[in-house]
């Protein structure tokens, strides 16, 4: 068994270093592992496991939610949500940082995509923050980290993937379990914004102008000018607060429809995703009228490409999970970890450290697919509920989306902000700390994740 674990680990790391796509790397590693197993028809078993991996009805929700996210992203929703967020928190000093965070939370929740939130919201907020005097790298750091909250706040595709791969968790329970942790991350990021803005204000009062502009996380004094601070960034024709709320309300209503329908038993998560597409189509094409009918074929193509990538990852990862389970590798690793310490605090800390490391070089979906079967038996022996572990894992891997070398959100944010990864990384430190604090609270305080599912009798 030690030889098979070595084959799997070495081959996987080697393929990743060669920049082989993750789905292909997982498939090749699985083939090598199966070839080392006696009595296994490698070709037949591999094909069977890959084909059966995508047979789950629940997985149909993924392409629907992807399509809904694209439709809403191109339908003017981001601009209206920014107007609404500006109305709510833009009055505070340095309020654009709070506006960016709150908008990313709302947009990420509706679209279910962190990268979509970075590109859509960042394309508007990063230049706007720069015009108000914010440092460019700081603006990118705020938007990039805040965008990950949409993967915790439902609906979330990665929550669906975890529910399927864990085998005994409902999608509705995962959705509701992610609400409070997602809001917690957003609030702590806003708190980090407040601390950095307050520190910049103090430094500007006490230090020279040259010193006050030296720190990447600081913002020049023009950030804190109250002139025009209450005006919306994209607000046309001096719209009234009521017009702003009414303009953003239809977009935010999508979350209510999806969650209320699932929790009320009117439709399943998969059916809710189809309704979300219909709603997004009506809003974007007929109500907002910012998506033309001629754009629908390209939207369908983008949906198909994104779905195929996710489903290929699911197929190869499920084949790997079968191979690992057949050799009892997860059980062996669980025994090894529990042999290190019987203290749940220590074991959960080790798992978090391992996932933080994994998140730096692996995207979220394959990480969930590969490491759920490995770590879930460990935490269940410690008494942690699978729902709480799922939220903990997602919150952990969200940090990896903002870290090099494979930080998808970080790359998109730097591209939108026209800056370098090295420059942005330093400005991200306060927000990394905020996300880590949220992760520790989620890990060691079960009520944060379990209160809503238990109150709604979903677990």
User: pLDDT tens digit string along 129-144?
Assistant: 888 788 889 989 999 9
Provide the CA 293 distance to its chain's centre, in angstroms: 30
pLDDT score of 191 more than 90: yes
| Structure-model confidence comparison of residues 319 and 209, the more confident one | 319
> What pLDDT is attached to residue 325?
77
CB 347 within 8 A of CB 337: yes
pLDDT score of 392 more than 50: yes
Tokens 């010193």 belong to residue: 211
First to last CA, the chain: 36
pLDDT score of 155 more than 80: yes
> What pLDDT is attached to residue 181?
95
The candidate with the shortest Cα–Cα distance to 83, out of 223, 251, 255, is 251
Q: How many CA atoms lie within 13 A of 146 on its CB side?
A: 34
- Classify residue 35 by burial, with Cβ atoms within 10 Å: 0-12, 13-18, 19+: exposed
> What pLDDT is attached to residue 117?
82
The candidate with the shortest Cα–Cα distance to 5, out of 379, 374, 447, is 374
> What pLDDT is attached to residue 452?
93
CA–CA separation, 100 vs 126, rounded Å? 8
Q: What phi and psi values does residue 269 have, to the nearest 5 degrees?
A: -65, -40
| Structure-model confidence comparison of residues 163 and 330, the more confident one | 163
Report how many helices (DSSP H) and strands (DSSP E) the chain contains, helices first.
23, 0
Provide the CA 193 distance to its chain's centre, in angstroms: 20
Mean local confidence (pLDDT), 104-118: 80
Tokens 């690793």 belong to residue: 333
Question: For the chain, what's the residue count?
Answer: 459
> What pLDDT is attached to residue 228?
38
Tokens 């197929």 belong to residue: 315
> What pLDDT is attached to residue 352?
94
Give residue 366's pLDDT band: very low, low, confident or very high (50, 70, 90).
Answer: confident
The candidate with the shortest Cα–Cα distance to 46, out of 328, 315, 312, is 315
Sort residue 134 into left (φ over 0), alpha (ψ -120 to 50) or beta. Answer: beta
Percent of the chain at pLDDT above 70?
88
Give residue 208's pLDDT band: very low, low, confident or very high (50, 70, 90).
Answer: very low
pTM of the model: 0.82
pLDDT in tens, 229-281: 434 454 444 677 888 888 788 878 888 888 888 888 888 888 888 998 998 89
Provide the CA 128 distance to its chain's centre, in angstroms: 24
Give residue 207's pLDDT band: very low, low, confident or very high (50, 70, 90).
Answer: low
pLDDT score of 161 more than 50: yes
Give residue 94's pLDDT band: very low, low, confident or very high (50, 70, 90).
Answer: low
- Classify residue 430 by burial, with Cβ atoms within 10 Å: 0-12, 13-18, 19+: buried
Tokens 């391992």 belong to residue: 354
- Average pLDDT score, the chain: 82
| Structure-model confidence comparison of residues 205 and 304, the more confident one | 304
Q: CA 151 → CA 98, 181, 248, 276, 423, distances in Å?
A: 19, 10, 21, 17, 25
> What pLDDT is attached to residue 212?
43
Lowest mean pLDDT segment, chosen from 74-83, 119-128, 285-294: 74-83
Provide the CA 368 distance to its chain's centre, in angstroms: 12
Q: What is the DSSP letter of 264?
A: T
pLDDT score of 109 more than 70: yes
> What pLDDT is attached to residue 206?
56
Q: What does the block give as tokens for 449?
A: 């994740």
CB 8 within 8 A of CB 29: yes
Question: Cβ neighbours of residue 394 under 8 Å, at least 6 residues apart?
Answer: 151, 152, 156, 158, 159, 162, 178, 364, 368
CB 197 within 8 A of CB 223: yes
Any idea what the Cα angle at residue 443 is, between residues 439 and 447, rounded to 5°? Answer: 110
The candidate with the shortest Cα–Cα distance to 401, out of 74, 64, 113, is 113
Give residue 454's pLDDT band: very low, low, confident or very high (50, 70, 90).
Answer: very high
pLDDT score of 106 more than 90: no
Give yes or no for a cis peptide into 251 (omega within 30° of 0).
no
The H or E element that residue 11 is part of is helix 2-17
Q: Is the dihedral of CA 400, 136, 227, 249 positive or negative?
A: negative
pLDDT score of 12 more than 50: yes
| Structure-model confidence comparison of residues 334 and 122, the more confident one | 122
CB 281 within 8 A of CB 303: no
Q: What does the block give as tokens for 456?
A: 């709604």
pLDDT in tens, 223-237: 333 333 434 454 444
Mean local confidence (pLDDT), 151-167: 88
pLDDT in tens, 35-60: 877 666 677 778 888 887 777 788 88
> What pLDDT is attached to residue 154?
86
Q: What does the block give as tokens for 72?
A: 């809403």
Q: What is the DSSP letter of 113?
A: -
Q: What is the DSSP letter of 402?
A: T
């Amino acid at each position: 068994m030690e030889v098979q674990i070595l084959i799997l680990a070495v081959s996987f790391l080697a393929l990743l270093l060669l920049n082989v796509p993750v789905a292909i790397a997982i498939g090749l590693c699985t083939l090598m592992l199966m070839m080392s197993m006696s009595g296994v028809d490698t070709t037949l078993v591999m094909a069977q496991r890959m084909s059966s991996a995508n047979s789950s009805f629940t997985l149909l929700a993924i392409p629907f939610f992807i399509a809904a996210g694209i439709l809403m992203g191109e339908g003017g929703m981001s601009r209206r949500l920014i107007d609404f967020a500006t109305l709510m928190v833009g009055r505070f000093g340095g309020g654009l940082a709070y506006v960016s965070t709150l908008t990313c939370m709302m947009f990420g929740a509706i679209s279910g995509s962190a990268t979509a939130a970075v590109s859509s919201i960042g394309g508007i907020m990063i230049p706007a923050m720069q015009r108000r005097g914010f440092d460019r790298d700081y603006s990118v750091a705020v938007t990039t980290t805040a965008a990950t909250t949409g993967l915790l706040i439902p609906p979330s595709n990665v929550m669906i993937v975890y529910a399927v791969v864990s085998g005994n968790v409902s999608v509705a329970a995962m959705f509701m379990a992610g609400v409070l942790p997602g809001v917690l991350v957003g609030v702590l990021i806003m708190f980090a914004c407040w601390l950095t803005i307050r520190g910049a204000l103090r430094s500007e009062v006490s230090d020279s102008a040259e010193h006050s502009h030296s720190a990447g996380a600081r913002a020049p004094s023009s950030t804190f000018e109250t002139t025009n601070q209450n005006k919306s960034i994209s607000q046309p024709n001096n719209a009234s607060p009521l017009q702003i709320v009414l303009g953003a309300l239809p977009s935010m209503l999508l979350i209510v429809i999806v969650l209320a329908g699932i929790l009320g038993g009117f439709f399943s998560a998969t059916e809710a995703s189809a309704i979300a597409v219909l709603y997004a189509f009506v809003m974007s094409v007929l109500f907002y009228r910012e998506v033309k009918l001629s754009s629908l074929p390209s939207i369908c193509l983008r949906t198909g490409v994104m779905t195929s990538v996710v489903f290929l990852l699911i197929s190869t990862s499920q084949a790997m999970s079968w191979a690992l389970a057949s050799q009892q590798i997860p059980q062996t690793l669980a025994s090894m970890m529990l042999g290190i310490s019987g203290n749940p605090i220590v074991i959960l800390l080790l798992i978090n450290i391992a996932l933080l490391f994994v998140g730096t070089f692996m995207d979220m979906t394959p990480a969930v697919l590969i490491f759920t079967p490995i770590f879930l038996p460990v935490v269940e022996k410690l008494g942690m509920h699978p729902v709480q572990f799922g939220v903990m894992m997602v919150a952990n891997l969200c940090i990896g989306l903002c870290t090099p070398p494979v930080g998808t959100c970080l790359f998109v944010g730097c591209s939108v902000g026209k800056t370098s990864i090295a420059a942005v990384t330093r400005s991200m430190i306060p927000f990394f700390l905020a996300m880590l604090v949220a992760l520790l609270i989620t890990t060691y305080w079960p009520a944060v994740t379990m209160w809503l599912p238990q109150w709604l009798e979903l677990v």
